[in-house]
Amino acid sequence: MKALNAKVASLLVSVSIAFLVAGCGGGTSGGGGGTSGGDMTAEPQQGGTLTVSLGEEVLSVNPLQAYSAEDVNVVSQMFETLFKENYEGKVVPWLLESYKPSKNDTVWTLQLKKGVDFSTGKPMTSADVKWSLERGREVETVAGVVAGWEKVEAPSPSTIVITTEQPSPEMREILCAWSFSVLPANWGGESEKQFDEHPIGTGPFEFASRKKGESLTLKKNPNYWVPQRPYLDEVVYRTVQNPESRTAQIRGGQLDMAYDPPFPELESLEQSPELAVEAPYLGDGWLMILNTENPLFENKKAREAVNIALDRESMVELALHGHGEPMNAYLLPWIPGYDKSLEAAEHNPEKAKELLAEAVKEGVKPTFTISSMSEDPFWTQASQIAQANLEEAGFTVTIKKSDLSSLLGGLENREFDATTIYNTALSPYPAELFSFYNATGGFFTGVDTKATEKLMSEAQSETDTAKRNAMWGQMQQIINEEQALILVAYSPYVWVRQSDVTGSFVGRTGILWLGETGFTG
C-alpha cells in the first residue's frame, strides 16, 4: 500500500473525498443556506478564462495523492470516474455505457463508454481502467473500502469485471471516489514523478502550468469526449490564503469565484447585485483532535472535560455568524447513514471542572497546546472561545498558529497535544470516511479502532439498507463515546461567484464541476 503521507491528513481538512459531476457530489439537501443572485440557467458562451481561489495552495494533481479539497477541486476537472452523481443526486454511469451486478452483488460487469479519449488523444481502454482500479486499491486511506475485492479483470478492450468476496451493494458509490479516477495505464509510459508534472486524464480540462505558491492553470482539453464542452478556454486557480483577501478580490473583480469567505460577510455579499453566493449544504465539520498518546488525553475524564467545556452555541453564533449548528455525529448530515438521533455534547462548565479535578488527582497535568491553522474562517475566532472555555474549566491552554503543511506533519507524526481542523466529506459513501478514520488511528487520535473496523467490514457487505445504516450509526456512537475526536460544529460550504458566471455546479461535497461553466457575455 502507498505509505500514509502528510497530505493524507488533509483529507480531514477537507475529507476529507470529491465527486460532483466529475465524481460524486450533487443532489439532495443537507440543510445549508441555498443560492442567491445570478442566472444559472443562462447559456454560457464559448471562451474565456475563469479565475478561482480555493484558499490554500494545490499540493497534488495526481488523483492517488490528492486528499485536500483544493487538490480534489483541480483533479476533478482533469480526471473522471466510472460513476458520478448527477444534478439530482443520483449515482449514474459516467465513463460507462452500462453495468450489471450479479444477483448477490459479488460480480460487477462494466461496459466502458465508447469514444472516450485521454487528453493526449489516446483512446481509453479496459487496460487503463483495470490498471487505475488496481492503483486506487493501494491508497492506504481507502484500503478498508476495497478489502473484500477479490480481483479486477479486463476480458475485452471495453469490459471490466470486478469480483468481491462478499456482497458489495454500494459498488457504484465506491467507484465515484477520485482515488478510482481513470488514468492511462503505467502512467502513460512515464514514471509517476513525470506524470505528476503533466498529468493526463479524460476530463474537460488538462494541465497547463503552475507557479509554486501563486497559481495553477488548466486549459481546455481539445480531445474531450463530450461535444462542444467545455466552454472555458482556461481555469486559473490562485492561492489566496487569507479569507478577507479572497473576499476583497472577488468584490474588486480580480476573482470570478472564491471559496470560504468570512462568515460575517455573507449577508453583504448576498446583497451585492454583481455577486452570487452558494451555500446549499452543511458540508463542513469543525473538529478538535486530542492525542491520546499524551498522558493528559489518555485519561478519559480529561477528554470528557474538554468535550463538555466547549460552548458550541457561542462558537456557532460568533465564529459562524449563526450559519451552522453544533456537530452531533462524525458523518455530515447529507451522508447516507448519518445518525440524527445522536446529541451534540452540552456545554457544562461545572461538570467539566469536576471531571478535570478528578483527572488531576489521578496524576495528569492539565496543561496543553492547541495547534490551529493561521488562516481559518472558523477556528481563528473559535479557538479563542475554546481557550477561554477550557481555562474556565481549569486547563492551562496555549494556542499555536501553524501553516497547513506543519499542522498536517504534526498529525502524521503524532507531534501534537490537540489540533483544530475541519472535515469536508469528499464522498457520499460512509465507508470512505470510516476507512479514513480507521487507517489514521481514529482520525489521528490514537484510539483503538478494532470495533469500528469490525463494524465497517460487516456494514459493507450488508445488503439491507436499514441494517447497514444502523451499523454506520453504531460506529458514530463509538466515536462519540471515545471523546477523543471532539465534534464541534457544522457549517455550509460557501462559494461566491460573479453574476456573469453560469453553469457552475457545487454538489454535496462542495467540489466545483466546471465542465458546463462559462460566462454569459
- State residue 56's pLDDT score: 86
Contact at 8 Å (CB) between 284 and 423?
yes
- State residue 396's pLDDT score: 98
Rounded Cα–Cα distance for residues 200 and 62 (Å) = 9
Question: What are the cell numbers at 241?
Answer: 490564503
* pLDDT tier, 139 (very low <50, low <70, confident <90, very high otherwise): confident
- State residue 21's pLDDT score: 36
Taking residues 291-303, what's their average pLDDT? 98
- State residue 24's pLDDT score: 53
Question: What are the cell numbers at 421?
Answer: 481542523
Rounded Cα–Cα distance for residues 238 and 242 (Å) = 12
Rounded Cα–Cα distance for residues 132 and 147 (Å) = 16
At residue 275, the 3 state secondary structure works out as: strand
- State residue 402's pLDDT score: 86
pLDDT for 181 beyond 80: yes
**Of residues 512 and 516, which shows the higher confidence score?**
516
Distance of CA 140 to the CA centre of its chain: 16
In a domain, 513, yes or no: no
Rounded Cα–Cα distance for residues 34 and 519 (Å) = 21
Whose cell is 487569507? That residue is 242
pLDDT for 89 beyond 80: no
In a domain, 465, yes or no: yes
In a domain, 288, yes or no: yes
Q: Are strands 205-211 and 215-220 parallel, antiparallel or unpaired?
A: antiparallel
pLDDT for 22 beyond 70: no
Rounded Cα–Cα distance for residues 393 and 409 (Å) = 30
Work out the widest C-alpha separation in the chain, in whole angstroms.
Answer: 70
Candidate from 16-25, 416-425, 442-451 with smallest mean pLDDT: 16-25
Rounded Cα–Cα distance for residues 426 and 432 (Å) = 9
Contact at 8 Å (CB) between 41 and 504?
no
Q: Please, what is the end-to-end C-alpha distance for the chain in angstroms? A: 48
Taking residues 338-367, what's their average pLDDT? 97
Rounded Cα–Cα distance for residues 257 and 248 (Å) = 12
In a domain, 406, yes or no: yes
Tell me what percent of the residues of the chain surpass a pLDDT of 90. Answer: 69
Contact at 8 Å (CB) between 114 and 162?
no
- State residue 510's pLDDT score: 73
At residue 160, the 3 state secondary structure works out as: strand
- State residue 38's pLDDT score: 53
CATH of the domain at 329: 3.10.105.10
In a domain, 127, yes or no: no
pLDDT digits (tens, 9 = 90+) for 240-276: 988 899 999 999 999 999 998 988 899 999 999 999 9
The mean of the pLDDT values for the chain is: 89
- State residue 453's pLDDT score: 94
pLDDT for 520 beyond 50: yes
Taking residues 312-329, what's their average pLDDT? 96
Rounded Cα–Cα distance for residues 427 and 509 (Å) = 7
Q: What own/partner pairs with CB < 8 Å and gap ≥ 24 does 219-222 have?
A: 221/78, 221/119, 222/119
For 78, left (φ over 0), alpha (ψ -120 to 50), or beta? alpha
Tell me what percent of the residues of the chain surpass a pLDDT of 70. Answer: 92
Dihedral over alpha carbons 150, 108, 121, 219 (to 10 degrees) = -90
- State residue 30's pLDDT score: 42
* pLDDT tier, 9 (very low <50, low <70, confident <90, very high otherwise): very low
Domain that holds residue 331: 283-492
* pLDDT tier, 36 (very low <50, low <70, confident <90, very high otherwise): low
In a domain, 366, yes or no: yes
**Of residues 432 and 196, which shows the higher confidence score?**
196
What residues contact residue 427 under an 8 Å CB cut-off, 6+ apart?
15, 17, 18, 19, 24, 173, 176, 177, 433, 509
Whose cell is 453544533? That residue is 326
Rounded Cα–Cα distance for residues 308 and 370 (Å) = 17
pLDDT digits (tens, 9 = 90+) for 206-227: 999 999 999 999 999 999 999 9
Q: Are strands 512-513 and 505-506 parallel, antiparallel or unpaired?
A: antiparallel
Burial 4-41 (b: 16+ CB within 10 A, else e): eebbbbbbbbbbbbbbbbbbbbbbeebebbebbbbeee
- State residue 400's pLDDT score: 95
Q: Are strands 49-55 and 257-259 parallel, antiparallel or unpaired?
A: parallel
Element (H, E) at 408: helix 404-412
In a domain, 371, yes or no: yes
**Of residues 115 and 521, which shows the higher confidence score?**
115
- Please name every residue paired with 414 in a beta bridge, in sequence order, or none if there are none: none
* pLDDT tier, 141 (very low <50, low <70, confident <90, very high otherwise): confident
* pLDDT tier, 93 (very low <50, low <70, confident <90, very high otherwise): very high
Candidate from 37-41, 122-126, 317-321, 350-354 with smallest mean pLDDT: 37-41
Length of the chain in residues, anyone? 521
Candidate from 17-26, 83-92, 169-178, 467-476 with smallest mean pLDDT: 17-26
In a domain, 239, yes or no: no
At residue 308, the 3 state secondary structure works out as: helix
What residues contact residue 47 under an 8 Å CB cut-off, 6+ apart?
231, 232, 233, 518, 519
- State residue 103's pLDDT score: 94
- Please name every residue paired with 284 in a beta bridge, in sequence order, or none if there are none: 424, 491
pLDDT for 17 beyond 60: no
Rounded Cα–Cα distance for residues 443 and 143 (Å) = 15
Taking residues 481-498, what's their average pLDDT? 95
* Cα 357 to Cα 70, 201, 303, 349, 367, distances in angstroms: 42, 57, 12, 12, 13
Neighbouring C-alpha atoms within 13 Å toward the C-beta of 99: 19
Question: What are the cell numbers at 264?
Answer: 460575517
